[in-house]
Amino acid sequence: MTAFSGLRERRGKAYRQAYGSARRREANGLTILETKNLTYKYGAGTPFEKTAVEDVSLSIGKGEFVGVIGHTGSGKSTLIQMLNGLLRPTSGQVLLDGQDIWQEPKKIRQVRFRVGMVFQYPEYQLFEETVLQDIMFGPKNMGLPDEAAKARAVQAAAFTGLKPSLLDESPFELSGGEKRRAAIAGVIAMDPEVLILDEPTAGLDPRGRDVLLAQIAQYHKERGNTVLLVSHSMEDIGRVADRLLVMNDGRKAMLAPTKEAFARGEELEKMGLRVPQVTKILQGLQKLGFPVDPTALTVDDALKQLIPYCKQRQAAGPL
């Protein structure tokens, strides 16, 4: 028992705040982002031509938290770059609030303010003299006056858990984890309606990963924004996402509620993906005849059913 409580202790306060109370926000039925037969080809017309995304149609509701997973090279990075107009689709459409984002190519910047995008290893985009100025880069590009941009930057920094004392430092003096937070704050400061994060936890230590994920979940809960989280880690995604988009070979393989998707574990494994270890253990236990619910996605959820069961067994005495 002490081992279990120790585990929970290590997860820290932010984690419990984010997951302990009100869980996921239900999508309220309105669609914010929609794609229609989206296709993208790299290097069209050269010997290197490669179709990265093929015929993807999906719709994402307002306020949803969608996890995006897929094997390396499954097209997920290309797909999300089309969602905020960084890549122009070879064919197909991206609709934001029902409007084709490429209807007026000159106004594509407005789309990028509404669909915020945090790239993989975003710390490499830092360039300003101070962290605060760097976070203000986005809001200032939106045309906000200095004061408003600063207010937003300070708020965004607080969201990502960046210490206020760091704001006047040079971004190049920060530690790796702090740089990552500063870079994420730089996108959050634009207050986008949809926030896309590409592997935000890559290269962080397990603790840093948990804390950052919890903060993203917290941000989603407080602001009610739509969040798309791309990750390799099924554990991470299982914890936070309402729905799961599974990409395979440039195509949409699945778009289903998280639990439902993980229940199709065999299909996922064929695509080179694994369900969370704890889910797998529970699935194994169920096969052995134990009365457990195999759709639990996190260690905490699993403990909630296993501990009472163990106690009950102990009370009943040795078999």
* Site residues for other proteins per CB under 8 A: 43, 45-47, 81, 84, 86, 109, 112-113, 116-117, 119, 122, 124-127, 137-138, 141-142, 172, 186-187, 190
Residue with tokens 């959820």: 301
* Tokens describing residue 31: 């669609």
Smallest separation, CB 113 to other proteins (Å): 6
Distance from C-alpha of 154 to C-alpha of 318, rounded to nearest angstrom: 59
Smallest separation, CB 226 to other proteins (Å): 16
Smallest separation, CB 119 to other proteins (Å): 5
CB nearer to other proteins: pick between 116 and 177: 116
CB nearer to other proteins: pick between 33 and 246: 33
CB nearer to other proteins: pick between 43 and 284: 43
**Which DSSP string do the residues of 238-258 spell out, in sequence order?**
HHH-SEEEEEETTEEEEEEEH
Residue with tokens 């106690």: 311
Question: Pairing between strand 194-198 and 115-118?
Answer: parallel
Smallest separation, CB 188 to other proteins (Å): 11
CB nearer to other proteins: pick between 84 and 215: 84
Asked if 94 and 83 touch (Cβ cutoff 8 Å), the reply is yes
Smallest separation, CB 10 to other proteins (Å): 32
Amino acid at 8: R
Residue with tokens 């996190």: 298
CB nearer to other proteins: pick between 5 and 103: 103
Smallest separation, CB 149 to other proteins (Å): 11
Asked if 261 and 244 touch (Cβ cutoff 8 Å), the reply is yes
Asked if 239 and 40 touch (Cβ cutoff 8 Å), the reply is no
CB nearer to other proteins: pick between 45 and 289: 45
Beta strands in the chain (DSSP E): 31-42, 50-61, 65-70, 91-96, 99-100, 115-118, 194-198, 226-230, 243-248, 251-257
CB nearer to other proteins: pick between 32 and 253: 32
Smallest separation, CB 18 to other proteins (Å): 25
